[in-house]
Structure 1
Amino acid sequence: MKRLYLLHAARPRVDPSLNLSDYHLPLTRRGEILAAQLGKFMLKQGYSPDLVICASPARARLTLSNMWAYLASSAHPQQIIHDYRIHLMKGEELLSQLQQLEERYKEVLLVGARRGVDELAKLLVRPSEDSSLTALPELAPGALMVFDCGTAPWTSLAPGSALLLETYNARLV
C-alpha cells in the first residue's frame, strides 16, 4: 500500500524588524511546538515516511526540522529532498512530481505551502457517497492529511484516486 502525507508548513513569524522576505521567515514559537507535536503524533500512529519532499522556504524546512527527532526514530531510513520549486507549484504540478516517484518509496511526506498542498489534497481525494469523507477541512498551519493511495504504481496516481484516512491539526495543550 502506498501512503501520502501532505503537510502544510507551520506558521511563520512575521516581524517587520527582521527585514526578511517571506521565503526566509522563521517559525513562530507556537509553530515550533506544534511541529514537534505533529512529529510525536506521526510516531504514535506508526506513520513512517521513507521519502520526505520538503519545500525550501525556511518555514517548511523548520517545520520538518522540529518534527525530525520523531520521524528519524522510525524503523526504516528516510531520504529527504529539499526542492526549491515545490512551494510555487499548484496541485496539478505537485501531482505530476508525485507520479515520477520511484516505486521503492511506499510512504511519502510532502511538506509545502498551503495553496499547493490544499489544491493537491482536493485533487486527490476520492469521491464518496458519504460527503463527510470527501469534504476537506480548512488546512491550518501545521495541518497533516493522510491518504491511502492503494497499491498501484505512483505513475497511476490520478485525480480522485486517493482515500483520505485522517486529518490532524496539532493544538497547544
Structure 2
Amino acid sequence: MSAAESSTGTTPGPSPVRTIAVVRHAKAEWSDSSDHERPLTDRGRLDAPAAGSRLAATGLPFGLALCSTATRTRETWRLAVAELPRRPRTVYEERVYEASPGELIAVLNEVDDDVQDLVLIGHNPGVQGITEILAGSAEPEAAALVGRRGFPTAAVALLTFTGPWKSLEPGSATLTEFWTPHPG
C-alpha cells in the first residue's frame, strides 16, 4: 500500500478548492471614541449590505465567518450577512483586530478542514496585505483593480487555494475577484 492510501486501502480524493472572501469593514466614523468602538457612517450602513449581496452572488456556501471584534466590523458583518441565503457560523476573533498579514495567516491556518469556504472581515492594512501576500497569481482584472484602488471600505476580494488550511502560506492562493461598492 502506498503512503497516499489509507488503512482502508482507498486513495484519498483530491484536495478541495477552498475560498477566502476577504472583506474590509464598511466606512466608519472618526470620532472621540476609541478606535475599537468606531461605528459605521450612513454610507457604511448602505455599503455593507451591498458587500453582502456580492458575497451572496458568488453562490458559495460559506461555512465560517471570522470577524474582528471592533464595532465597525461587527456592524458590517451584521448588515452583510443578512443578504446571504444561509448564515455561516460566526466567530468574533480578537486577533483579527489590527492584525498584520502574517497574524491573519496564522488565524486562517487554525481553521478546521471541514470548512471549505470562509469570510474574513477585518481592517486595513491587514486585509489588503493578506490579499496581496497570499495571491501567488491573480486574474488580471482583479490584480489591476487592487493595484489601482488599494482596498477601499466594504471591498471584497476572493482568493482560492487547494489543500488544508494549515498549508495556506504566502503565494499559495489565486486572487480570482475584487469588488468595490463604488467602482471608478
TM over 0.5: yes
CA distance in 2: counterparts of 1:54 and 1:44, whole angstroms: 20
Q: Name the counterpart of 2:113.
A: 103
Task: Give the alignment of 1:156-171 within 5 angstroms.
Answer: 156-171=167-182
**C-alpha RMSD over aligned residues:** 1.9
- Structure 1 stretches of 4+ moved >6 Å: none
CA contact (8 A) 2:19 2:116 kept: yes
1:134 positional shift: 4.4
Selected match of 1:10 from 26, 42, 48? 26
CA contact (8 A) 2:49 2:80 kept: yes
Paired residues, what number?
164
Selected match of 1:83 from 74, 93, 108? 93
Structure 2: runs of 5 or more not aligned:
1-16
1:57 positional shift: 0.6
Are 2:41 and 1:25 equivalent residues in the alignment?
A: no
Greater C-alpha Rg: 2
TM-score by length of structure 1 reads 0.87
TM-score by length of structure 2 reads 0.82
Task: Give the alignment of 1:119-158 within 5 angstroms.
Answer: 119-127=129-137, 134-135=143-144, 136-137=146-147, 138-150=150-162, 152-158=163-169
Structure 1: runs of 5 or more not aligned:
none
CA contact (8 A) 1:42 1:48 kept: no
CA distance in 1: counterparts of 2:180 and 2:89, whole angstroms: 25
CA distance in 2: counterparts of 1:161 and 1:63, whole angstroms: 28
1:101 positional shift: 1.0
CA gap 1:10/1:30 in 2 versus in 1, 3 angstroms: same
Q: Relative contact order (C-alpha < 8 Å, sep 6+): which is higher?
A: 1
